[in-house]
Amino acid sequence: MIHQEILKRKNIFQLIDSDWHLRIIQFIVGILMLALYLWIGAGILNLMLNLPHIFNDGWANVAEHIIIDVVLVLAVLELIRILQSYLAVGRVKVTFILDVALVVLIGELIGLWYKASTLTEVGLHIAVIAVLTLLRIVSIRFSPDAVD
């Protein structure tokens, strides 16, 4: 019993104890999440400040920026979900990464709606979104966490 306590205290100052590593990672992830929360707050504030411009610039022009801003806020929320998953499980699930990629690419596709884009650009975006969707389906289907 005393020998185990001595070893435990000795390991506090050595690199073989992984508890310090876990605490540093949790601290860094916590700071990243705090920064993302501030970014979300700034995004929502930006959305609210753009609403009065509807009367000056026209609804269609402002709607483009509002839709893209909302999609970006959703992408940041997905990033927070990834960080929470990492803290809870100790690893990042592929489905969460694919969710973020899908949200961002769908936002880009919506952005192409308002721009003069070629059919090739739109087709490429749709193809990438389709491949990522298939990858997400496959990752869920063959996940080690899936219940048979």
Q: Domain-by-domain residue ranges, the chain?
A: 1-142
How far apart CA 45 and CA 39 sit, in angstroms, is 10
Q: Which pair of tokens denotes residue 141? A: 């289907």
What element of type H or E holds 85?
helix 59-89
Instruction: For residue 148, name the pLDDT band (cuts at 50, 70, 90).
Output: very low
SS3 13: coil
Average pLDDT over residues 116-124: 85
Q: Find how far residue 100's CA is from the centre of its chain.
A: 5
Tens of pLDDT, residues 1-51:
566 666 666 555 555 556 777 788 888 888 988 998 998 888 888 878 877
In the block, which residue shows the tokens 């990042």? 92
Tens of pLDDT, residues 70-112:
888 888 888 888 888 888 887 788 888 888 888 888 888 887 8
Instruction: Please state the pTM of the whole predicted model.
Output: 0.63
* pLDDT computed for residue 130 by the predictor: 94
